[in-house]
Amino acid sequence: MRMGLVEGKIAIVTGGGANIGEACARMLAANGASVAVADINEEGARRVASGIAEAGGKAIALKVDLGDEASVAAMVAATIDEFGRIDILHNNAANTGAQQMMRDASLAEMDPEVWDAAFDINVRGTMFVTKHVVPHMIAAGGGSIINTSSGVSLLGDVLNPAYSASKAAVNALTRNTATQFGRANIRCNAVLPGLVLSPVARAQMTDHQLAMIQRHVLLPRESVADDIAGAVLWLASDLAGFVTAQIISADGGIAHHQPHYADMLDMFAAMPG
Burial 18-48 (b: 16+ CB within 10 A, else e): bbbbbbbbbbbbbbbbbbbbbbbeeebbbbb
Catalytic residue among 115, 128, 163, 181: 163
Q: Is 260 exposed, middle or buried (0-12, 13-18, 19+ CB in 10 A)?
A: exposed
163 belongs to the catalytic site: yes
What single-letter amino acid sits at 99? Answer: Q
70, 117 in Cβ contact below 8 A? Answer: no
Q: From edge to edge, which strands make up the β-sheet containing 58-63?
A: 58-63, 34-39, 10-14, 88-91, 143-148, 186-193, 247-250
Q: CB within 8 A of 135, min separation 6: which ones?
A: none
Q: What is the CA radius of gyration of the chain?
A: 19
Cβ-based neighbour number of residue 89 at 10 Å: 31
- Show which residues are catalytic: 163
